[in-house]
Structure 1
Amino acid sequence: MKKLINAISFLILINIIKLFSGCGPCDCNIAPGTFDFTQIKTENINNAGRWHSITESDTLKAAAVAFKISVSGNDTLLSAYHISSFGFSQACAFECYCPIPFKPNQLIEDISIKTIYDLSDDMPAGSDITNFFVGYTDNYSNTSDKLYLSIDEILNKINPDMLYDTQTVSFQVYLKKEITVQKAQFLFSITLSDGRVLSDTTSLITIE
């Protein structure tokens, strides 16, 4: 009887050693989830203070007209989990969280900004005023004294061969020129590599 108990205890000990000796970093080698860009969203930015922030106000300062642009998919792919159950057939007895990396099927080939209203003599209603804006993106690692990027530089930064944590690519744009009109509105258009164009119009903005 004593030998049987010792044998059972030995087998249990061996399995426990196998269980925990196999524990290590989570195996998160997950194939990226691909998605299509389907929508664009513009948000007003309060750029009048030291730090900019998203605002629901439709009033912006004349020298601080700025927007956040988000291009995204349908968000139908959710984060995945790799779970190891408690048992001798598994390497570990804990849960691993492995978010799915995302890769868009399209590149953003062009960013166009048009004004709906007259802003000045060189920015009449209906004209393309993209060159009057500069931008910023979190993908930009500033290694120089340069604070903002041109729109063409933004395109290079948001189209790298990399994976994203979500199905959204976003960037901010800032009007370089102070305007003296009382109202403004802008049309943003994003041209994708598959030929589609996603557009969104900002709210009617009061300038103060």
Structure 2
Amino acid sequence: MNLTPGPPSAAKVALRDQVLAARRRRPLGEAADDAARIARHLLAAPEVRRAATVAAYVGVGREPGTGLLLDALGEAGKRVVLPVLLPDGDLDWAVYTGSAELVAAGRGLLEPVSPPLGVDSVATADVVVVPGLAVSSTGMRLGRGGGSYDRALARVPVGTFTCVVVYDDEVGRDVPAEAHDRRVAAAVSPSGVVRF
């Protein structure tokens, strides 16, 4: 199966544009509260409580914030691994050792400075938390269009708890699907965790 995305469908482009425009209109003053609520919901999830290793990411720009979540996972004794974007758009992974050990990377991302673990290391995570712009009622996730997380999710064993982080109004959307797209098991938003 081809995991490299071709040209996006017009429906995906339209939905991405719509969601990104809505995110730009979100009041910045709500960001910290939304991030705290998302962290609280995910930390309470049984799958996360049982996990030894959590693959996650650093939210940037108008994405829901993940800084509180990352630090709380570390404080709870979890091993946290974060993506490192490779030149071909694939994702390597490295251990998160704190926000002071993050560096600016391409596409406005923040990445850990610790040694890379390899693209297949995501398969060792007990929980995989990914970014997204929207998610359908069946777990079809809309990303930014590069296919990076679809490739990573394809390496994750069946049965692993995979969860997209979104805002409340981005859950239950009609997300167009293509051959390379990967579903997630759940979504977390400021209102809580929804399992599919």
TM-score, normalised to structure 2, is 0.22
TM-score, normalised to structure 1, is 0.21
Structure with greater strand percent: 1
